[in-house]
Amino acid sequence: MKTDFEIAHETKLEPIGTIASKVGIPEDALDPYGKHIAKIPYSLIDNERVKRSNLILVTAISPTKAGIGKTTVSVGLALGMHRIGKNAMLALREPSLGPCFGMKGGAAGGGYAQVLPMEKINLHFTGDFHAITSAHNMISALLDNYIYQHQQDGFGMREILWRRVLDVNDRNLRSIVTGLGSRTDGIVSESGFDITPASEIMAILCLATDEEDLHRRIENILLGITLEGKPFTVKDLGVAGAIVALLHDAIHPNFVQTIEHTPALIHGGPFANIAHGCNSIMATKMGLTFGDYCITEAGFGADLGAEKFFDIKCRKAGLSPKLTILVATAQALKMHGGIDVKEISKPNTEGIEKGFANMDKHIENLRKFGQTVVVCLNRFATDTDEELELVRKHCDKLGVGFTINTAFLDGGKGAENLARLVVDTIDKSPSAPLKMLYNDNDSIENKVETIAKTIYGAANVRLRPAAKKQLERIKELGYAHFPVCIAKTQYSFSEDATAYGVPTGFDITIRDFVINAGAEMIVAIAGTIMRMPGLPKSPQAERIEVVNGLIEGLS
């Protein structure tokens, strides 16, 4: 099999204007970034068309460290849909540089199911992440400067709630002290860097409906509490306009093509473990404007990505998916069935059967939102027919649609069955209108408890003292009506990354609550989840090279 890199570079891309014209996007409305990438102004979103189109969510069972290949299924489905004559748009998240150079490599699909140009998408793309990093750190600098410049006027902060961000995996930056040196080198403060996908600015960009809404949300960002006990926001700092200026281009969805020249939107990229995990509302709405179907994705397993997609993104945007695709792999099922991770590429029907529990729990969860679910098994070369038949039979028993995706090997041809199943299911038994898991008016504790018990299957929720203290503040400051975004490991329903399958009787411990007053959500930090990843002993960066003018090693 050829590498992702080889496949990508054997593909002759069409000019991006040609791709746009095919789906009725006027070519002169595009803002090109090179010959194969463009931004589409969000003003082209048509809310009437959004309502008439069909939204499809792609999510997954709890993933292995190698991932489930959710993006490969999403891209494959888009290809398959076009092969059976349907106009489908993809809406995906932008990859983060950190994991590209760390453990994970790129995130633009794989094999014959890629979005292209993969090396641009995986690296700087249209600069959205850099704009977000700049905007975030500009606020940090302006805030520290405000404190420094106004200390003689008696101004001071009792608590600073705003950290810094960089799009890099750098464990050394998690916890830092700034302002050392001499008197003019600032004020000594505890600080730290999160990875850019965890930035509140990222969440705001993904949840904003237009530039005015972006401005309003930026103004509302809570930076800290003054010595007098008052909240201090970006509005108080007086720089919301400057921050919006930094995001003036980043706010528009990016447009690219798949390997089979079908249209794809890629915009925004919060992780689903430490943030809300979906591409921008604007990209999804753009996809629904220009596609009869829009295929979108929520990060990691359905416990994280799908729950946040429904309860945060769909709640804000008024979206309601017609169908949810739950992606599984034989290897992940075996892992959840108790097979050692080193052995999961070997045939093991017993492991598969024991692993169904994880899949079943995700299906049960998705149905709580009123979703019609189909299962798509993303086929690996090592899977046996016998194993796959087992999954098919199990899904039949559950009354859940099932199909196999081989788009990684076969491109769109390998996802035609999936496409037919999707179209057919949406025709015959689309999802009910979306049911939220909780109401805005529920307390934050109740929201966390509902998610933890209903979706994760936890026995209890425990709050650490810092979290309890924050809860008081959330109520006081009037943020209790926000939805909750739980930051938790992606590898398990629980907060123990090694508890595969369906753990029960466990507690969820909320270490802290982070107030995202601009994004209008409360991030609950469960367990030891890190908002700044580290690098492994042999990072992917050691295998990235520019050879004959082409970038290798990003797959």
Which segments are annotated as binding site for ATP? 64-71
Q: Give the residue carrying structure tokens 């009725």.
A: 24
Binding mask 84-113 for a second copy (x = CB under 8 A): -------------x---x------------
- Compute how many residues bind a second copy; rule: CB under 8 A: 74
Binding piece for a second copy, criterion CB under 8 A, among 171-179, 219-227, 272-280, 314-322: 171-179
**Residue of the chain from 46, 84, 86, 186 that contacts a second copy (CB under 8 A):** 186
Calpha distance 487→484 (Å, rounded): 10
Binding mask 35-74 for a second copy (x = CB under 8 A): x---------------------------------------
**Residue of the chain from 172, 229, 441, 472 that contacts a second copy (CB under 8 A):** 172
Three-state DSSP string of 132-185 = HHHHHHHHHHHHHHHHHHHHHHCCCEEEECCCEEECCCCHHHCCEEECCCCCCC
Q: Give the residue carrying structure tokens 């059976």.
A: 84
**Residue of the chain from 2, 51, 65, 171 that contacts a second copy (CB under 8 A):** 171
Binding mask 494-523 for a second copy (x = CB under 8 A): ------------------------------
Three-state DSSP string of 318-368 = CCCCCEEEEEECHHHHHHHCCCCHHHCCCCCHHHHHHHHHHHHHHHHHHHH
Residue 210 Cβ vs a second copy, minimum distance, rounded to whole Å: 11
Residue 154 Cβ vs a second copy, minimum distance, rounded to whole Å: 15
Run of H or E including 187: none
> Site residues for a second copy, window 419-478 (CB under 8 A)?
none
User: If binding is defined by CB under 8 A, does position 224 make contact with a second copy?
Assistant: no
- Taking Cα atoms as reference points, which of 161, 160, 158, 141 lies closest to residue 149? 141
Q: Give the residue carrying structure tokens 């589409």.
A: 40
Residue 59 Cβ vs a second copy, minimum distance, rounded to whole Å: 30
Run of H or E including 300: none
Residue 145 Cβ vs a second copy, minimum distance, rounded to whole Å: 4
**Residue of the chain from 189, 384, 443, 509 that contacts a second copy (CB under 8 A):** 189
> Site residues for a second copy, window 115-134 (CB under 8 A)?
119-120, 123-124, 127, 130-131, 133-134
Which of residues 126 and 372 has its CB atom nearest to a second copy in the complex?
126
User: If binding is defined by CB under 8 A, does position 5 make contact with a second copy?
Assistant: no
Binding mask 291-330 for a second copy (x = CB under 8 A): ----------------------------------------
Class of residue 530 by CB neighbours under 10 A (exposed 0-12, middle 13-18, buried 19+) = middle
**Residue of the chain from 8, 44, 61, 244 that contacts a second copy (CB under 8 A):** 244
> Site residues for a second copy, window 10-39 (CB under 8 A)?
31-35
Grouping H, G, I as helix, E, B as strand and the rest as coil, residue 90 is strand
Grouping H, G, I as helix, E, B as strand and the rest as coil, residue 312 is helix
Which of residues 130 and 413 has its CB atom nearest to a second copy in the complex?
130
Binding piece for a second copy, criterion CB under 8 A, among 172-180, 295-303, 372-380, 415-423: 172-180
Calpha distance 351→357 (Å, rounded): 11
Task: Give the Å distances, CA to CA, from 242 to 37, 139, 215, 217, 218.
Answer: 26, 9, 10, 13, 10
Residue 43 Cβ vs a second copy, minimum distance, rounded to whole Å: 9
Run of H or E including 166: strand 164-166
Contact 366, 455 (CB under 8 A): no
Residue 264 Cβ vs a second copy, minimum distance, rounded to whole Å: 20
Calpha distance 425→427 (Å, rounded): 5
> Site residues for a second copy, window 529-548 (CB under 8 A)?
534-537, 539-542, 544-546
Give Cβ neighbours of residue 310 (< 8 Å, ≥ 6 apart): 369, 434, 436, 437
Q: Torsions phi, psi of 487, nearest 5?
A: -90, 115
> Site residues for a second copy, window 145-164 (CB under 8 A)?
145, 148-150
Which of residues 192 and 370 has its CB atom nearest to a second copy in the complex?
192
DSSP alpha helix (H) spans, 60-127: 70-83, 97-101, 118-122
Class of residue 183 by CB neighbours under 10 A (exposed 0-12, middle 13-18, buried 19+) = exposed
Which of residues 15 and 430 has its CB atom nearest to a second copy in the complex?
15
